[in-house]
Each structure stands twice: as C-alpha cells, then as structure tokens.
Amino acid sequence: MFILTESLTFPPADYTDDDGLLALGGDLTIDRLLVAYHSGIFPWYSQGQPILWFCPDPRMVLFPDDLKISKSMKQIIRKKQFEVTFNTDFDGVIQNCAHVKRPDQEGTWITKEMQHAYKKLFDLGHVVSVEVWENSNLVGGLYGVWLEDKKVFCGESMFSTVSNASKYGFIALVEWLKQKEVKIIDCQVHTDHLASLGAKEITREEFLNFLK
C-alpha cells in the first residue's frame, strides 16, 4: 500500500491489491486529479476514510460502436420522452448522484470534498455533465472526466429518478462523444446496468494503452 506525499506522482498501476486499490492519501487538487485520470487512476472512498486511489483490473469499458439500444429504448427515443442537455446543470447532476438512494448501498462516496473538486474540473472544461429532463424536471443524468487529448471519456456516476432516464442520457452521451471521435468510454467497474448497454471488461493493460 502506497501513501501519497505532496508529489503528484503515483506508483505503477500494477502495484494494486486484488481490489484495484493503489494508494491512499494526497489531495483532490486539479493537478493531481488530471495526473490520476491520465494514468488510469481515480479516487473512490467514503466519508471518514482517507482518499483512496484505484486502478482496477479488469476494467469495464464501452467501445462506442458496441453500444446496445434495446427495442423498448428505441421506442422511447423515437417518442422523445425526455429532453437531454449538456453542461447546463452540473450541480444538480452531481448532487443527485450523491443523494439518490441505490440498492445495497449505504451512504455515498461523492462527498462534499469530491463535489467541490469536480466542480472545479467542470469549470475548467475537464468534466462533462449530461442532464435528462421530463416536463422541465431533472430526472436523470451523469457526469465524467473528458480527456480530450486522449479521446477517452471517464464516466464517474449517473442517477435516475424515473425509469430509463439514465439510459437515455447515457445513449445521448455516447452519440455526442462519437462526434468528438472518442476511442473508449471508461466505466471503471462492472455493473449489470452498464453491461446491458454494451460495456465489457478488458485488461488493465489494454485500457492503459489508450492513455499512452
């Protein structure tokens, strides 16, 4: 286990434990976060814990051409059930991601400290937020770090208060990223929700090659 110092360097990714935990400590400054994401590393910890930094193996990713849209979702899209915007209500998205209750999850890893740090990244253009609206109400959304120089999008969190809203927003994001020639979308770790949309696991080495 590595304890970070004031230096912005991280240990090699293959020094992680079986859960993908690489290091602890450090801070959530803009410079450190950008070094981390360009190295395939992300912070993930709960209130009361030190900052924990992960680089899991395998890595859950979506190649944009692998996106799966079910027949029912295609019908919802054709009906234009929701409206999607980009970068118009980041605060609303991240607060909902932090507070919407999820099955088998107590508390949140999106602490006030995390919200403040990603707001700074958003203000500098390094974070993209997607908002999903129904009748002018924010009912879904997601946000992530956009490494434009690498054409890699690192998804962080999504939420939904209405059925299919987060899927609707994710599909819209993939289409938006395709226009920007995205190579790969980092989903970090496996979930059935992401797998249903076409995401799959690859080795950490394969993922890191996209960042070189």
Q: pLDDT 10s digit of each residue in the chain, 212 long?
A: 799 999 999 999 999 999 999 999 999 999 999 999 999 999 999 988 999 999 999 999 999 999 999 999 999 999 999 999 999 999 999 999 999 875 554 546 899 999 999 999 999 999 999 999 999 999 999 999 999 999 999 999 999 999 999 999 999 999 999 999 999 999 999 999 999 999 999 999 999 999 99
At 1 the pLDDT is 77
What pTM, to 2 d.p., does this model score?
0.95
Q: Whose CA is closest to 155, among 128, 190, 193, 124?
A: 128
pLDDT score recorded for residue 102? 56
pLDDT value of position 157:
96
| Cα angle, residue 173 at apex, residues 148 and 31 outer, rounded to 5° | 35
The 8-class DSSP code of residue 51 comes to P
Say how far apart CA 194 and CA 3 lie, in whole Å. Answer: 32
Pairing of strands 52-54, 2-4: unpaired
What does the pLDDT read at residue 104? Answer: 53
88 within 8 A of 63, measured Cβ to Cβ: no
Q: How many CA atoms lie within 13 A of 14 on its CB side?
A: 4
What is the C-alpha separation between 46 and 108, in angstroms, rounded?
6
DSSP assignment of 52-93, as one string? EEE--SSEEEE-GGG----HHHHHHHHHT-SEEEESS-HHHH
Q: How far apart are the C-alpha atoms of 203 and 125, rounded to whole Å?
A: 29
Report d(CA 189, CA 201) in Å as an integer: 8
Ramachandran quadrant class, 48 (left: phi over 0; alpha: psi -120 to 50; beta: rest):
left
Token look-up 């602490």 returns: 111
* Among the listed residues 159, 165, 153, 128, the one whose alpha carbon sits nearest the alpha carbon of residue 64: 153
- The 3-state DSSP class for residue 211 equals coil
Q: What angle do CA 153, 203, 94 make, to 5 degrees?
A: 30
